[in-house]
Chains A and B, each alone.
Chain A
Amino acid sequence: MRREVIYDEVFDAQEQFRLLLDSMARPGKINSMPDMDIIPPAGLNKASAMIAFALLNTDVSFYAEGEGSDAIESYIALNTTAAQVGVGEADFVFINGLYDAGIIFDAKTGTLPYPEESATFVIDVDAITEDAGDSELILTLKGPGIETTKQVYINGINPGILKAVREQNMEFPLGVDLMLTDKNNNILCIPRSNLFEIEYVGVEV
């Protein structure tokens, strides 16, 4: 398993956190993570690895599921020293966008007095773009951080996941927050305060 020695925990982490903060504050804004010379195991986008490096340490826990999740878990554990736990306790959950949506309901959503004790999902998709192209899924976002509405186009995501997230976030402030990453290091965040609509290849979901 590879130890990413080139990652600078001071300046790389700061730069990437600022991009994440900007994305979280402005849902629908696509930010690009810098292209770093790291080699995550198959099934984990570079940008997802960078999110792990920027935010995780020994104080938090994480969980990964899906194809190649054993390699992903040991890679993240080695490079961040975060604790490996079950999905029900994890602060960060790493999954692939095409994975089964049921896992969304297994993650913690916080309690009413402490809604921040909830999971953040880091989801790998194929592409996140601002122009339609031949995209499978149109996401229309609305809520804090967006002046009116914002549209983004995503390839390689199971619409069931987004549907499950919407259901799970119904009872705001309880819920989960999403960070989506694609193969070109783009990131997109969807905080639980956001109300979004999904259209999947012409079908309202």
Chain B
Amino acid sequence: MVENKKYVNKYNFAFIDEATKREIRRKLLKAVAIPGYQVPYSSPEMPISRGWGTGGLHVTLSVIGKKDVFKIIDQGSDASVNACNLREFVHMMTDVKTTFDTSEATLIQTRHRVTEEELKENQIYIYQVPQPEPLRGVERYENKTRQMHGEADYAKMWVSIYESFIRHGDIMLYAGYPVKVNNRYIMAPSPIPKWDIPNLNQSKALHLFGAGREKRLYAVPPYTTVEPLEFEDVKFHTEDFTGLECFKTGYKKAYLDELYFDDGTRHFVINDSNFLDKLMEHSPLKQHSNKYIDKIEA
């Protein structure tokens, strides 16, 4: 009897069917060729709801191969519920090696953080994006925002930032601070904190963004200029942790989480779990370097 090899698995490798993978792959190539531009794609059904990381999963499952080492974080942590479930799913569907170690991974999927550890050339960094359109706050219609991007007409965006400064004395934008990519497209860098935004600039790794619910893919190639929107006299700044330190390590140069203990006392801890582990184990570690972080003393 002829042995059936084709249908021994219940699912295709990496879950998504090959026709859809090819579509996503073609669009990723176009996204890389036009840095910061949002390419519409099919966003097929996944076993999780749209808006729970399907965009990131589509990208991961379309690029992943048997030799990859996969890491996924949710708000900096390898142990958050979203990360654990998606890690298990990707592992079940592909059987690739998974890791917590940032430097070991070749594919890193993330929800809302860039790792504190510097990324390398052989790594692809994949974001789960809830709202890919940076102009949505100033223009509600998609056909209009498309036209604005096409003509690089960002006047409304600049006015909104100016108004924010006039009303409140600061640019009141936090996670997902709009950036200009390659001096052309304004892009929403998924809701990563302002702390992480300078790390996208001239990064060594390729950054891919997937917004499943909104059906958009976009990319920032390595060594690409990514500048936060700022004025000559009103500058972009990262989150200010002056006077605070991680209660476990005493480290001051990382993005911190606020914790309340049962006795009501307030503590701060490094948000990136793998970075915290490595600091505590005194493992060799190379942090991102940019002009905002470099000013802070460790």
A residues with a Cβ closer than 8 A to B are: 9-11, 13-15, 17-18, 20-22, 24-26, 54-60, 91, 111-116, 118, 120, 143-147, 172-173, 177, 191-193
Contacts and interface: CB of A to CB of B under 8 A. Distances in A.
A9 B39 CA distance: 24
B19 interface: yes
A55 B37 contact: no
Given A24-B221, A57-B22, A145-B223, 7 more contacts: A11-B65, A13-B22, A14-B65, A17-B63, A113-B143, A113-B150, A145-B222
B12 interface: yes
Interface stretch (B24-32, B244-252, B277-285): B24-32
Interface in B1-27: 12-14, 18-19, 21-23, 25-27
A55 B22 contact: yes
Contact of A18 (B63, B146, B150): B63
Interface in B135-181: 143, 146-147, 149-151
A24 B220 CA distance: 12
A26 B202 CA distance: 12
B235 interface: no
Nearest to A113: B146
Contacts of B221: 24-26, 144-145, 191, 193
Contacts of B182: 143-144, 193
Given A13-B18, A116-B34, A177-B30, A55 B25 contact: yes
Interface string B197-228: 00000100010000000000001011111000
A147 B201 CA distance: 11
Interface of chain A: mostly helix, strand, loop or mixed:
loop
B33 A192 contact: yes
A84 B26 CA distance: 18
A17 B14 CA distance: 15
Nearest to A176: B33
Contact of A21 (B32, B185, B225): B32
Contacts of B63: 14, 17-18, 21
Given A11-B13, A116-B27, A116-B34, A59 B19 contact: yes
A177 B33 contact: yes
Contacts of B66: 11
Contact of A116 (B30, B184, B185): B30
Contacts of A147: 202, 223
Contacts of A10: 12-13, 18
B65 A112 contact: no
A26 B222 contact: yes
CB-CB nearest 6 A-B residue pairs: A112-B150, A191-B33, A113-B146, A116-B30, A144-B224, A145-B221
B35 interface: yes
Contacts of A14: 14, 21, 63-65
A122 to B, nearest CB: 12
Nearest to A22: B206
Contacts of B225: 144
A114 B146 contact: yes
* Chain A CB within 10 Å, residue with most, of B30, B39, B202: B30
A111 B29 CA distance: 17
A57 B23 CA distance: 9
Contact of A115 (B13, B14, B37, B147): B37
Interface centre among A10, A11, A173 (most CB of B within 10 A): A173
Contacts of B28: 21
Nearest to B28: A21
B65 A15 contact: yes
